[in-house]
Amino acid sequence: MAQIVVSDGALTVSMHGIDKILALRGHLSVRLEHVRGVEVRPEEARQIWHGLKFGTNLPGVVTAGTFFTGEGKLFYDLHDPERTIAIDLEGEDYRRLIVQVDDGETPEAVAQRIRAALAAGKQ
């Protein structure tokens, strides 16, 4: 799971507990202006093959870390595909972040919070 915070023109994803080890990193931060979109996209998280990995992929259990695909470099941190969002990026090392939101939040609410921050930044 990941805590997602938007502040000071940045979107920060912080991994918790064992996910820090499995993903081989504790957090990611990207400029908010490089976020091109965010969607609730569990079907992408359900896939068994995510690409060449630098991290952990135990289908049905955990997917965490950096994966190299034909689309570019993707970052995953999830246990439950139904609780994930996909954050599309441009001008960053990663092309997309696919992460499970924290307990107590819904994927829809987190996606809407990010969309609101994006809209506020364009004004």
42-93 confidence digits (pLDDT tens): 988 888 788 888 899 988 899 999 999 999 999 999 999 999 999 999 999 9
Q: Are 27 and 12 in contact (CB under 8 A)?
A: yes
Q: Do residues 78 and 62 make contact, with C-beta atoms less than 8 angstroms apart? A: yes
Residues of the domain holding 103: 2-121
| Token code pair at residue 100 | 């499970």
Q: In total, how many domains does the chain have?
A: 1
The answer for residues whose C-beta is within 8 angstroms of residue 8's C-beta and 6 or more apart is none
- Please, which residues have CB within 8 angstroms of residue 96's CB and are 6 or more apart in sequence? 71, 72, 74, 75, 86, 87, 88, 89
| Whether pLDDT at 123 is above 70 | no
Q: What is the pTM of this model?
A: 0.93
Q: How far apart are the C-alpha atoms of 19 and 62, rounded to whole Å?
A: 9
pLDDT digits (tens, 9 = 90+) for 6-38: 999 999 999 999 999 999 999 999 999 999 999
Q: In this predicted structure, what is the pLDDT of residue 122? A: 66
